[in-house]
Amino acid sequence: MIMPSPAAMAEPGQTPAPRSVALEVDGVSKSYGSIDALKGVSFQLATGRVTALVGDNGAGKSTLVKIMSGVVMPTAGSLRVNGQPVEFRDPRAARQHGIHTVFQDLGLVGSLSIAENMFLCTEIHVRAMGLRTPFLDREAMRSAASTALGNLGVTTVEDIDAPVESLSGGQRQSVAIARAVREQARVVILDEPTAALGVAQAAQVLLLMERLRASGTAVLVVSHNLREVFAVSDVVIVLRLGRVARIFETSQTSEEEVVGAIVGARPKT
């Protein structure tokens, strides 16, 4: 049975594990015909840090997320996990390397329950005489799903069998993130996690990011909302015209400086 990593149980404020590079993007380029969507993009995602990826429309953010999550393959360059080059031919391969992406549409099936969604494609089966049977161990999945949500501070689940479509946007986001945590993700990529949410629900998601960071997970968040970026991130990567324009330590920059990098303003000399 897959259980959440012990690290996932850490609370915000606790001393995080020593940082290491969880994922390295090295000289990644992607071309669609004559259009270069990405040109030699390089950066690292560290464990226990929230990295924000920002940029104007068409800067290449979506393409980069698709490459890191295994939806598309890069034209050139490589990804490295634990220093080893990896090749993701599909999202499943990325997940097997501990890289989970929560897309804007969340990838949840509305008509299935919370527990079923959290175990979709990673189901727990009943075992008999040491052998795996084709039958689902629904109780074990319910219990593990509740535990995963509880570890993220999602404590008021009244019905783990409720269909996801009965939840609010923020609650669905919580389920999608808890799914990644349950599968012991080293890297969680959140694509515009608060774009469709109200203020209170967006705050819930920011709290979940805090908890992921505290658990030692490397978090990459794609966002247009600079207020949230500054609220939650440690590092800001600015993409512009398919290249990394600047990388900022959040605590040592300002919104003005980041906006300047997004629109291509020259720094004052």
Nearest to another protein of 21, 162 (CB atom): 162
Give me the least distance between CB of 137 and another protein, in Å please.
9
Name residues whose C-beta falls within 8 Å of residue 36's C-beta, 6 or more positions apart in sequence.
29, 30, 242
Q: Taking Cα atoms as reference points, which of 65, 71, 263, 102 lies closest to residue 194?
A: 102
Nearest to another protein of 21, 203 (CB atom): 203
Give me the least distance between CB of 5 and another protein, in Å please.
19
Q: Are the beta carbons of 68 and 218 closer than 8 angstroms?
A: no
Q: Are the beta carbons of 209 and 50 closer than 8 angstroms?
A: yes
Nearest-angstrom CA–CA distance, 241 and 102: 24
Nearest to another protein of 162, 241 (CB atom): 162
Nearest to another protein of 39, 61 (CB atom): 61
Give me the least distance between CB of 73 and another protein, in Å please.
16
Give me the least distance between CB of 198 and another protein, in Å please.
12
Give me the least distance between CB of 135 and another protein, in Å please.
5
Footprint of another protein (CB under 8 A): 12, 90-92, 95, 103, 105-112, 114, 116, 120-121, 123, 125, 134-136, 138-139, 142-143, 149, 152-162, 166-167, 170-171, 174-175, 200, 203-204, 206-208, 210, 226-228, 230-232, 250-251, 254-256
- What CA dihedral angle connects 110, 203, 249 and 38, to 10 degrees? 30
Nearest to another protein of 87, 161 (CB atom): 161
Give me the least distance between CB of 85 and another protein, in Å please.
22
Nearest-angstrom CA–CA distance, 58 and 22: 27
Angle between helix 169-182 and 138-151 (nearest 10): 110
Nearest to another protein of 186, 213 (CB atom): 213
